[in-house]
Chain A
């Protein structure tokens, strides 16, 4: 404790009331009352500091840092599950001395989507829904923090948490590739593209998850909502693409791919980030189609942000 009990006469100026000589009523509530009030004369930092503090606090909260040991279990386990396959890929690459990673960073993210989905389903309600469920939001909005700053901090924190979640395996893969003495220029280029993929993937998925979590303050609903949003459309897209492939309607598969966030990212990385799509026949959408993929991604991100902003319009007071 860096603020020891000060004697009553050492109280700061500006209060002046004789309350220091509190009556000796003897109960514990009265005993603390004879410590004088001190005015705060220190710094008051601006919006940037407040936004950053909220972002960091939310980001830490997603991984259970600064929370109970129990809250760390799920995110840390998922994190291990997310990184472990990358380590195995690296080991295989080093041992078998192949000329390239069996799996690029972008493909790795897409392959690990089920794990990412579970992580987001746990993280988004933790980051977003709790303030609504416990009605803490009025305490934020009655402070020098604008609605847009609150939304930016929360959205940013979730996106950053997801970026850490996806980019760490990418780093592991890159380190492994260098360890296996693969071509440095090639690998660095792939790694950079992989990071772009991770960032785009994180911003899109965090936005959708945050928008869902902000509208489901009840416990469990957010978790279910996020999982459904990321899995059901993805499976539907895969199934429909499979059918279209069977019917030799290859052109249709690209348009079907727009219908889920996962396949959307797949198309974007195949067109622009030099990856290989997991669409039937590993088809890469042509440039025009890819532009639609990119536009839709941008629209979804903007839409998520807008939905979040609208959600907090009433400030909850």
Chain B
């Protein structure tokens, strides 16, 4: 069953259309919601929490209708806002305990859950200190903890990696993986950075100008472009080792191109279409060994999702979003928000 399902969802403000006929189903797991600023991500989250009525269509969260059962949804869902939301003169423990009670947990349970969840997100002794002195990374952890403290079935994370350095980003992404893998909580995480989502998410939903651009499993985004780059040495038996391997792999039934799209200038590279299981890797290894060539490199080469998009946009471009209009919509939407 889908944790989130929208059907023709629309949100129209007097001057701007924030969401336009959005129909998407989101399965349990970690789902990335990608879009530029003002693409409609925040509007969608507000509607999903039952805080802002849609002007068209319908949506359900965990099987509950957003228009009629907002309160029940908010009991079962956690939300981490993008912006800073922590009072500086309160300790993390007091703050999270209070918010646990605001989710309906009795006082003793609220304390116990807070201690548990702060440990899970990686806050130790500092949880007894006022939050004003926290680093951005620690603040993000508290924000995540308050979204998880009532053990929701789904969390909505709005740009959780914002403002973090690369290490902090990786830690936060690993934490998000664990929220699903270990805690069993489905995650909807928004970002305007595709790269970090493809490492973390099971599914990616891309919206722009309030419309759905694409929704599919991360695997499908990357599979299309999975390939191996192979480089070998020449030997006396095979003065042109690259060509020999090219022929041999072709004979083995693999699709091989010389040069390789990743480095067009290098004639010594072979690009082999690969599958996910790794059978192709074995074939390449065995063939190289049979020919007695030296294997200089064999590396997995994946297109980034963003590449798939730019290609996809170029191909279908016009019917998805008119490129000229998109930035304009984005700006007006962002302007309204302020």
Q: Which chain B residues in 91-114 approach chain A with CB under 8 Å?
A: 94, 98-99, 101-106, 109, 111-113
In the complex, chain B residues whose CB is within 8 Å of the CB of A54: 102
Instruction: Please report the C-alpha to C-alpha distance between residue A33 and residue B184 in the assembled complex, in whole angstroms.
Output: 15
Instruction: Mark interface residues in A142-176 (1 if CB within 8 Å of B CB, else 0).
Output: 11111000000000000000000000000000000
Closest 10 A/B residue pairs (Cβ)? A40-B151, A142-B79, A44-B104, A37-B183, A134-B87, A53-B101, A144-B75, A17-B181, A45-B104, A19-B182
Contact between A139 and B99, CB atoms less than 8 A apart? yes
Instruction: Please report the C-alpha to C-alpha distance between residue A230 and residue B257 in the assembled complex, in whole angstroms.
Output: 82
Q: Which chain B residues in 32-83 approach chain A with CB under 8 Å?
A: 42, 45-46, 49, 51-52, 71-72, 74-75, 77-79, 81, 83
Contact between B106 and A144, CB atoms less than 8 A apart? no
Contact between B116 and A3, CB atoms less than 8 A apart? yes
Instruction: Please report the C-alpha to C-alpha distance between residue A47 and residue B77 in the assembled complex, in whole angstroms.
Output: 16
Find the B residue at minimum CB distance from A11: B182
Contact between A136 and B103, CB atoms less than 8 A apart? no
Instruction: Assess A40 versus B150: contact at CB under 8 Å? Given A29-B122, A144-B103, A145-B102.
Output: yes
Interface residue tally on A, bucketed by range: 35 or more
Instruction: Please report the C-alpha to C-alpha distance between residue A243 and residue B184 in the assembled complex, in whole angstroms.
Output: 74
Instruction: Please report the C-alpha to C-alpha distance between residue A40 and residue B106 in the assembled complex, in whole angstroms.
Output: 12
Instruction: Please report the C-alpha to C-alpha distance between residue A52 and residue B103 in the assembled complex, in whole angstroms.
Output: 12
Instruction: Please report the C-alpha to C-alpha distance between residue A15 and residue B182 in the assembled complex, in whole angstroms.
Output: 5
Instruction: Assess A130 versus B151: contact at CB under 8 Å? Given A15-B184, A17-B182.
Output: no
Verify if A218 is at the interface (C-beta below 8 Å from B): no
Q: Which chain A residues in 22-69 approach chain B with CB under 8 Å?
A: 28-29, 32-33, 35-40, 42-47, 49-50, 53-54, 57, 66-68
In the complex, chain A residues whose CB is within 8 Å of the CB of B122: 29, 32-33
Instruction: Assess A50 versus B81: contact at CB under 8 Å? Given A38-B116, A317-B42.
Output: no
Instruction: Mark interface residues in A117-139 (1 if CB within 8 Å of B CB, else 0).
Output: 00000000000001000111011
Q: How far is the CB of B189 from chain A (nearest CB, A)?
A: 15
Contact between A45 and B105, CB atoms less than 8 A apart? yes
Instruction: Please report the C-alpha to C-alpha distance between residue A45 and residue B104 in the assembled complex, in whole angstroms.
Output: 4
Verify if A14 is at the interface (C-beta below 8 Å from B): yes
In the complex, chain B residues whose CB is within 8 Å of the CB of A33: 120, 122, 178
Verify if B146 is at the interface (C-beta below 8 Å from A): yes
Contact between A138 and B116, CB atoms less than 8 A apart? no
Q: How far is the CB of A248 from chain B (nearest CB, A)?
A: 56
Verify if B317 is at the interface (C-beta below 8 Å from A): no
B interface vs A, CB < 8 Å? 42, 45-46, 49, 51-52, 71-72, 74-75, 77-79, 81, 83-89, 94, 98-99, 101-106, 109, 111-113, 115-116, 119-120, 122, 124, 146, 150-151, 171, 178, 181-184
Contact between B51 and A317, CB atoms less than 8 A apart? yes
In the complex, chain B residues whose CB is within 8 Å of the CB of A47: 71
Instruction: Assess A44 versus B103: contact at CB under 8 Å? Given A19-B181, A19-B182.
Output: yes
Q: How far is the CB of A52 from chain B (nearest CB, A)?
A: 10
B74 touches which one: A16, A57, A130, A144 (CB < 8 A)? Answer: A144
Instruction: Assess A14 versus B184: contact at CB under 8 Å? Given A38-B116, A136-B85, A317-B46.
Output: yes
Find the A residue at minimum CB distance from B115: A3
Contact between B46 and A315, CB atoms less than 8 A apart? yes
A-B contact pairs, 16 of them (CB 8 A): A1-B115, A2-B112, A15-B184, A16-B184, A29-B171, A33-B122, A40-B105, A44-B75, A44-B103, A44-B105, A50-B103, A68-B89, A130-B87, A139-B81, A142-B49, A315-B51
Instruction: Assess A43 versus B106: contact at CB under 8 Å? Given A19-B182, A66-B94, A130-B87.
Output: yes
Find the B residue at minimum CB distance from A16: B184
Instruction: Please report the C-alpha to C-alpha distance between residue A45 and residue B107 in the assembled complex, in whole angstroms.
Output: 10
A135 touches which one: B84, B98, B113, B150 (CB < 8 A)? Answer: B84
Beyond the given A17-B181, A49-B104, A145-B74, please list 11 additional residue pairs across the A-B interface where CB-CB is below 8 A: A2-B111, A2-B112, A3-B115, A28-B124, A33-B122, A44-B75, A57-B98, A67-B89, A130-B87, A142-B74, A142-B77
Q: How far is the CB of A44 from chain B (nearest CB, A)?
A: 4
Q: How far is the CB of B9 from chain A (nearest CB, A)?
A: 17
In the complex, chain B residues whose CB is within 8 Å of the CB of A40: 105, 109, 113, 150-151
Instruction: Please report the C-alpha to C-alpha distance between residue A17 and residue B113 in the assembled complex, in whole angstroms.
Output: 20
Instruction: Please report the C-alpha to C-alpha distance between residue A16 and residue B171 in the assembled complex, in whole angstroms.
Output: 22
Instruction: Please report the C-alpha to C-alpha distance between residue A16 and residue B184 in the assembled complex, in whole angstroms.
Output: 9
In the complex, chain B residues whose CB is within 8 Å of the CB of A35: 119-120
In the complex, chain B residues whose CB is within 8 Å of the CB of A66: 94
Q: How far is the CB of B161 from chain A (nearest CB, A)?
A: 16
Instruction: Please report the C-alpha to C-alpha distance between residue A146 and residue B50 in the assembled complex, in whole angstroms.
Output: 11
A53 touches which one: B102, B124, B181 (CB < 8 A)? Answer: B102
Instruction: Please report the C-alpha to C-alpha distance between residue A144 and residue B106 in the assembled complex, in whole angstroms.
Output: 14
Q: How far is the CB of A41 from chain B (nearest CB, A)?
A: 8
Instruction: Please report the C-alpha to C-alpha distance between residue A53 and residue B89 in the assembled complex, in whole angstroms.
Output: 20
Instruction: Please report the C-alpha to C-alpha distance between residue A40 and residue B113 in the assembled complex, in whole angstroms.
Output: 8
